Structure 1
Amino acid sequence: MLHLAINPHLLVCPNYALPNFKAVRQLNYFSDEEPAATIQYLDHAAWNAQVTADTEAAADAKHNHLKQLAANQVEVEKELNKKWLKLLPLNDSGMPSIFPVHSPLYAFHKLELIKYGLALQAVSSVCTSCKVIPDADLSWDQFSSARTVYISKIQCTKWPTALTKQTASFLFALENHPMACITDYGKWCQGTIQDIRT
């Protein structure tokens, strides 16, 4: 259908009975007596149909837009309701001289009921796999290889960027520590100290 650019309701209806519009009358099979009102009616009907179609298209577009916004809002709420791992914020402060010991509340409750005993135990002694090498027994090459795999794995699990950078910075500093340049015992000593700290 021809798209009208001008509203015919705002135009002055020409006199289609004039000889200049004879071709128009012949194409539309109008007699010379009744062309004006009929042609004007057709123009108005075409304009009204065009306005109705444009209004419906705009309403459909608005409805689809609102529907998409609602769907996006539902997705955002689903993401917000997911139980993500909550980590404390990190800062660039130095290493503390005293490391705080945190314990779950149920442990204190069972200590009061004398169901738990307090004892210190090395982490490497409670490993479930017999193939796990204790940190103190790792060679420097094994430690370097494990460090690279460790960094790649925490990036795959989408750790917070600050925590990933801090871990990589720590391992880089450990790799480039002056003690590592001591040929005889430096790297072994570093690995042993790190095992004690962890």
Structure 2
Amino acid sequence: MARVARNPELDLCPDFAGPIFQAARAAIVATVANKTNADVVRYFTTAWQTDWDAKKIAWDQQEVADKAAASDEATRKQAEPDAEAAAQKREADKKKPKLNDFDSSRGIGDAIAPRPSAFALRKLERYEYVELWYFTREGCVDAAASAANRTINEDAFALTKVDDVVGLRLAASFSASKNVVKDIDLTWDQRSFAKNSMLIHMTKLGWPTKHVESLADFWYSLETHPTRSLLHGDRIVITYQSEVRFEWHDCLRRDQGFNIASINDNLMRRASDKVWDAVRDSRPGRDTVSNS
């Protein structure tokens, strides 16, 4: 609505019965049947009064709005010195840890799964390759022992960069265990325990279902693969999985992912050759060469 430029209280009703409006009155009386001069005067007066009333209401509302706006502006200017402090408080509130609610009717389960190290979970959280050993019983025990023996100085923070954002994390989450065992050197029992634990944590950390299911199918295919029935079969399959899983992570990082659950027979034969070469190299007298 347009602003009312003048206070209606300052305006007086014109004298519609006076000589200034005589021509207007005469024109209406001449063209409108049964209209007298007095009727025309009342019509003009009523129309002016209606317009004046509307302007008075608009003026009063305008005055209230102007006073409110002036009060808001004064409040804003008064609050300006505290604006920076308020902004800093909002930022601090955003960074403040949030405590989730809990189900009052829910109790703890009968077993608590062993927890891998912060280093391993961070790798998994960032979709990076991490050795299966961290998810074995031995790896979880090692993580618990390291956490229990950690000194105050070891609880230091280190800079990290994720998606061009620099932040702080506990330095311990960057440290690989000195006891880590490569996948190729794991026992079958260690591999079986670790792969189940890793799948659980992948799901908890929000890995896509497609990726988790593909990796689960990969390990199931290896468990049921005919190669396991052969001499050194478990070692061959472990060798295959150690190389293929590393390649899978590397290809995912380069956006060249493949279906890891599809077992490649040629690669399985190469893994078999590597194992048998290692077996032959470990036999006594391997260095003795006949010249005959």
TM-score range relative to shorter protein: 0.3 to 0.5
Structure number with greater Rg is 2
Which structure exhibits the higher relative contact order, with contacts defined as CA atoms closer than 8 Å and separated by 6 or more residues? 1
